[in-house]
Amino acid sequence: MATSPKLITEDGSPVSHFSLTAVQHEAHEEPFVFDIDGEFFTMQPPEDADWQVTGNITGDGGLQAFVQEIMDADDWERFSAIKLTNKQIGDLLEACRKHYGTSPGESRASRRSSRSSRRR
């Protein structure tokens, strides 16, 4: 199988059609800041989380690792000491997603249940 020739610029560098480095350094809108009983915390955009952390979100400690991944490092220790319900953490993550304009992916469980519902 023949490979396509590389495009080279005048200075001899290969032409890049996409730069992860450039995208990584794009400025996001105002950070998502929230408070709990007068303590303030900041979360980064969920889509900026490491893919390996996100890929293991349903595993042991996956949700905790995900929240730690998007939480400002300086805030994590204080935040993790606060007791929250599943509803509270869900509401918090939903507010963060809405702030950054992202939507959650569909879980495997919901896809399976959707397929079985269609067969009925």
The predicted-structure confidence for 94-111, as pLDDT tens digits, reads as follows 999 888 887 665 333 333
**With helix as H, strand as E and coil as C, how does the chain read?**
CCCCCCCECCCCCECCCCCHHHHHCCCCCCCEEEEECCEEEEECCHHHCCHHHHHCCCCCCHHHHHHHHHECHHHHHHHHCCCCCHHHHHHHHHHHHHHHCCCCCCCHHHHHHHHHHHHC
Of 88 and 24, the one with more pLDDT: 88
- The model carries a pTM of 0.60
Q: Tell me: the pLDDT tens digits for 44-53? A: 888 888 887 7
Please report the pLDDT score of residue 8 as a whole number. Answer: 65
Please report the pLDDT score of residue 32 as a whole number. Answer: 92
